[in-house]
Amino acid sequence: MDAIVMYLAKINRITYSMRFLLLLLLPVMSFAQSLPSHAYGDKRHPPVIFLHGGPGSNSINFESTTAQLLADQGFYVITYDRRGEGRASGMAAQYTFQQSFDDLNAIMREYHLPKATVIGFSFGGIVATLFADKYPEKVQSLVLVSALVDVQATYSTIIESCSDIYRKRKDSAGLQDLAALQKLDRGSQEFRRGCFRQASRNGFFATPHRDSAAVEIYKRLDTDTLYQQYAAKSNDAPVSGFWQNEHYSMINNIPVLQRLKKSGMPIFAIYGKDDGLFSVKQIAELERITGAKNARLAYFDHAAHYLYNDQQQSFLHAFSLWKAKGGLTAR
């Protein structure tokens, strides 16, 4: 009987210890919750991590059309959704750049990547550039794809382009809307929303000159029920969160890119000529940073914001060319 009592007491002590240990580990387990991510290609190939746009978007578009094809060019492609966005919208998020950096570092640990090329698409370009500046030892090279760089310059481009359109149309209502928009605080959410409403209204995100390949890609997306399910999900919390915490509407990453270039980090850029968010002047500024056009900056005809769909083969060719020249594989 004494042996049984001693055994039960021992079990009770072990159970208590396990409960205590579990309580200690709960915060760690919660923090370590995995972000939804996907890998494409051979992990022995040069790693590339795609950072989606937004805030409030996801990687489903790139995954549905281009990720596997890029892997077929000899890359190990990783995609994921940021915390609190897209398929990770159920995860508690602070909506800060530092948390975005921490999660990207966690993705790299999960896939055992000490260093990777980072693709920053649209708003993801801001995150990617700032990550490269803070953790240069982890970035093989930086690739900006339709990436926001000087956000206020993009707002000005939208307003100037819309103004030209409305004047040519003799659209007095459109000009009045622009006049009201320009009275707002340029750092406010209202101003940001107003600029992007104007851009959408005037077709700045889509090329009017889709070739047959692009038409087929968008046709597939239109009939892909899974893609439509995720693409239709919108979440305004990331927009408000990042604006409140990081004031990203006032960000100008040109000095950051210049600093990265001076440090020796390879910087590449791909933009579409029909993307109404970027002026020729902005592209010329990026050309001075990256190097000669066609060497490290690709500027595609008949392509807008989602240029990896609009000119998919040209997009893939640019990566293959840069890889062949060693820009994406050695530093």
Q: Is residue 26 part of a domain?
A: no
pLDDT (tens digit, 9 = 90+) per residue, 23-75? Answer: 333 333 333 468 999 999 999 999 999 999 999 999 999 999 999 999 999 99
Cis upstream peptide for 136 (omega within 30°): no
Q: Is residue 20 part of a domain?
A: no
pLDDT of 5 > 90? The answer is no
Residues 316 and 169 in one domain: no
pLDDT (tens digit, 9 = 90+) per residue, 117-129? Answer: 999 999 999 999 9
Q: Is residue 10 part of a domain?
A: no
Residues 170 and 142 in one domain: no
Pairing, β 116-121 against β 297-300: unpaired
Q: Is residue 331 part of a domain?
A: no
pLDDT (tens digit, 9 = 90+) per residue, 178-213? Answer: 999 999 999 999 999 999 999 999 999 999 999 999
Residues 169 and 256 in one domain: no
pLDDT for 226:
84
Q: What's the predicted TM-score (pTM) here?
A: 0.88
| In the block, residue with structure tokens 């990770």 | 88
Residues 192 and 227 in one domain: no
